[in-house]
Structure 1
Amino acid sequence: MSRWVGPAFLAAGAVNIIGMLMISKGFTNDVLTFADPVVFSVFGQAMILVWGLAYVAVARSWALVPWLCLVFFIEKLFYVGAWIVWWWNSADQFSSILEQDSLTAVFIAGYGINDLAFGLLFLYAFVLARRGA
């Protein structure tokens, strides 16, 4: 069993929880909500925290719940897809976001890559858990 997978689940949880609280400025970042009102509504931001709590909750037992690891992978694919769609449809808004709030712009620029990386972690955890590693 890979010793780094559990700590990586904790990192994924911390990124979701701490990262979202920082980027959302405690759910008050109107620039973020305006940039993507579906994914980053206040409700959407809160659900990102909940996903983070779920990653933390299984950090020590991920190998016992392979199918949940797969669910986490699928969830991350949805966020990656939303990020790609946002860039496809809204890339022209990016300079305005950058002018209004550079931290939000950096977040918008990279959250899909971050979610892809953690999604691959969850897929790897699924494969390891199914093999009984």
Structure 2
Amino acid sequence: MRHAFIRNGFIAAGLINILAVLLLSRVFTNAVIPATDPVVMSNFGLLMIVVWGLVFLAVAARYQHVKWVVGAFVVEKMVYAVAWFRWITTHEVAAVYAKDLFAGLFYSVYGLNDFLFMLFFAAVFYQLHQAEAAPLAQK
């Protein structure tokens, strides 16, 4: 993957985290999102998603220097994707839509988004690992 594509991927991950949470939670005033999954998606949890978004943005231009931070992003996205998968397979998202459209949208897509960005961050981590290992193989 090219540097510009990867940088833009980090920017997209950051902006999606920040803007989706702020929009769909109505800047933390949507009570349905935290009530639906109070352990993972409390207002504090939503705030931490915004913080992760800020970190993705902070790393965008210099990701190639922080391979293990990128690895942590893989784990972070995996945790949210697994939490969503467990939720979506044991709850009815239609019931959430019945309470609030924005909350329904949030619960419909957040795990898919996290899964896709987990794959993106994993590919970046792998690429960084390969680039780091290549000079060692030549010795």
Calculate the TM-score normalised by the size of structure 2. 0.89
* Alignment-derived partner of residue 117 in structure 2: 118
Over the aligned positions, Cα root-mean-square deviation in angstroms equals 1.3
Please name the residue that 2:107 is paired with. 108
Q: CA deviation at 1:103?
A: 2.2
Structure 1 match to 2:130: 131
- Identity, in percent, stands at 37
Q: Who is 2:83 aligned against?
A: 82
**Alignment match, 2:63:** 62
Counterpart of 1:24 in structure 2: which amino acid?
Answer: S
- Equivalent pairs, count: 131
- Trace 1:3-22 onto structure 2 (pairs within 5 A): 3-22=4-23
CA contact (8 A) 1:97 1:105 kept: yes
Q: Which has the higher contact order (CA 8 A, sep 6+)?
A: 1
Residue 80 of structure 1: how far off its partner (Å) = 0.5
Deviation at 1:88, TM superposition (A): 2.7
Q: Which amino acid aligns with 2:130?
A: R
Per the TM alignment, residue 101 of structure 1 is displaced from its structure 2 partner at its CA by: 1.2
Residues 65 and 129, structure 1, Cα contact 8 Å, conserved in 2? no
Q: Which runs of 5+ in 1 are unaligned?
A: none
Task: Tell me, yes or no, if the aligned pair for 1:63 and 1:128 is still in contact at 8 Å.
Answer: no
CA contact (8 A) 1:69 1:126 kept: yes
CA distance in 1, matches of 2:77, 2:94: 26
| Deviation at residue 96 of structure 1 after TM alignment | 2.2
- Is the Cα–Cα contact under 8 Å of residues 62 and 129 in structure 1 kept in the other structure? no
Match of 2:45 in 1: 44
- 8 Å Cα contact 1:63-1:132 kept in structure 2: no
Q: Which runs of 4+ in 1 moved over 4 A?
A: none
Query: 2: CA distance between counterparts of 1:37 and 1:89?
Result: 15
Give the whole-Å Cα distance in 2 for the aligned partners of 1:98 and 1:49.
23
The structure number with the bigger radius of gyration is 2
Report the secondary structure of 2:113's partner residue. helix
Which residue identity is paired with 1:19?
Answer: A
Note the C-alpha offset of 1:38: 1.0
Determine the structure 2 residue equivalent to 1:34.
35
Structure 1 Cα separation of the partners of residues 79 and 39 of structure 2 = 13
Question: Per-residue CA shift, 1:83-106, capped at 9, x if unaligned?
Answer: 011123323xx2221112122212
**Distance in 1 separating the partners of 2:70 and 2:106:** 25
